[in-house]
Amino acid sequence: MKKRLSLEAFKSGILKGDRVVLSRAITLVESSLEQDARLASQLVQDILPATGKSIRIGITGVPGVGKSTFIESFGNLLLEKGKKLAVLAIDPSSQKSKGSILGDKTRMKKLSLNKNAFIRPSPAGDTLGGVAAKTREAMLLCEAAGYDVILVETVGVGQSETSVKNMVDFFLLLVLAGAGDELQGIKKGIMEMADGIVINKADGDNLVLAKKAKSTYQNALHLFPLSESGWTPPVSIASSITNFGLDKIWDMISSYEAITLESGFKEKNRSEQRMKWLEENLQFLLIHRFLESPQIQAKLASEKVKVQSGEVSPLSLARELMDLFFKD
């Protein structure tokens, strides 16, 4: 077992861009041990002045849309442009075994060999939307280590992709053409949150289909109200195999970055995200403190059978437990 690094060793290594220390720091923030959690909290606080200078991009889409392949090709393009890239790839977790495949690093072989790229697969766990619970902290650590583009790959179009939108600057939705109704399976809410849409796998026979689908998506987007940023989401077509259209996607994101920086929307958005992060941390800490209480555990152990049998309503027991926990 590796010896835990000191706060200073973590901080120094991260600020020097040491990828090994960065990996260990992300493992630290993901740890459920109280000792690790307190050290991680202090570490994030200490490196805060070195954060905030990146552009954070969320990438989502239905399974099979080619997110990992897209990220490898798009990531290599960014590296050629002189960027330092961090990819936080969120792997699906089994609800039965709680295990995770963590295979994204093997799917991005070329990218993972580049010294200016850092790929970190993390299990989604029980977090809604397929975003690891500590993704925000991981992003800050990567920024402090000098990475100026952060890509967050999600599991797929899940029940709460809002969680991704609430932690990135630009939300990119990947879709496919030629699967029948072009809008089938894409929730209106996901479309409304997208800052840009890319019709992926636009190569070979799919190129014609992708061009047709582009018009369909553009027409659909015109029905949505203008976003607070004042930005109209563009629709682009691309191929991760031939690299067709990847430059245009970076131009799209760069334009958005310039517009939102000038208007002040980027900082306003990040400010709101920080408050959302505060709320989520309060909820997380309260729930864990609540469930760790010996009184609550004893009451739950003795009363939950009544809920299971239908003798007591879940709401009634929940209120009793809350009263017990917060009693004077």
Q: What is the pLDDT of residues 7-35, one digit of tens each?
A: 999 999 999 999 999 999 999 998 888 89
Is 60 exceeded by the pLDDT of residue 269?
yes
Q: Is it the case that residue 114 has pLDDT exceeding 50?
A: yes
- Decide which of 129 and 272 is more confident: 272
Local confidence band at 261 (pLDDT 50, 70, 90 cut-offs): very high
Q: Measuring CA to CA, how many Å separate 54 from each of 189, 214, 323?
A: 26, 29, 45
pLDDT, one tens digit per residue, over 222-231 is 878 788 888 9
CB 158 within 8 A of CB 196: no
CB 163 within 8 A of CB 132: no
- Token readout for 245 is 């259209």
Q: Is residue 233 pLDDT above 70, yes or no?
A: yes
Q: What is the DSSP letter of 200?
A: -
pLDDT score, position 183:
54
Task: Supply the mean pLDDT for the chain.
Answer: 86
The predicted pLDDT at position 180 comes to 45
Distance CA 290, CA 254 (A): 45
Burial class (CB in 10 A: 0-12, 13-18, 19+), 97: exposed
Q: What is the pTM of this model?
A: 0.88
The answer on pLDDT for 116 being more than 50 is yes
Fold of 52-263: Rossmann fold (3.40.50)
Query: Does position 110 have pLDDT exceeding 60, yes or no?
Result: yes
Chain center to CA of 286: 23
Residue 313: pLDDT band (50, 70, 90) is: very high
pLDDT single digits (tens) 43-78 = 999 999 999 999 999 998 887 888 989 999 999 999
The CA–CA distances, whole Å, from 312 to 83, 305, 307, 316, 317 equal 58, 9, 5, 7, 7
Q: What dihedral angle (degrees, nearest 10) is formed by the CA atoms of 15, 267, 154, 13?
A: 0
Specify the range with the lowest mean pLDDT, choosing from 99-103, 131-135, 237-241, 300-304.
99-103
Confidence class of residue 101 from pLDDT cuts 50, 70 and 90? very low
Question: How is the chain split into domains, by residue range?
Answer: 1-50, 52-263, 277-325
Examine the pLDDT at 127 and tell me if it is beyond 50.
no
Band of the pLDDT at 284, cuts 50, 70, 90?
A: confident
CB atoms under 10 Å from CB of 281, counted, come to: 14
pLDDT (0 to 100) of residue 305: 94
pLDDT tens digits, one per residue of 145-201: 999 999 998 866 554 467 788 899 999 999 988 654 445 555 667 788 899 999 999
Separation of alpha carbons 31 and 29, rounded Å:
5
For domain 1-50, the question of CATH label 3.40.630.30 is answered with: no
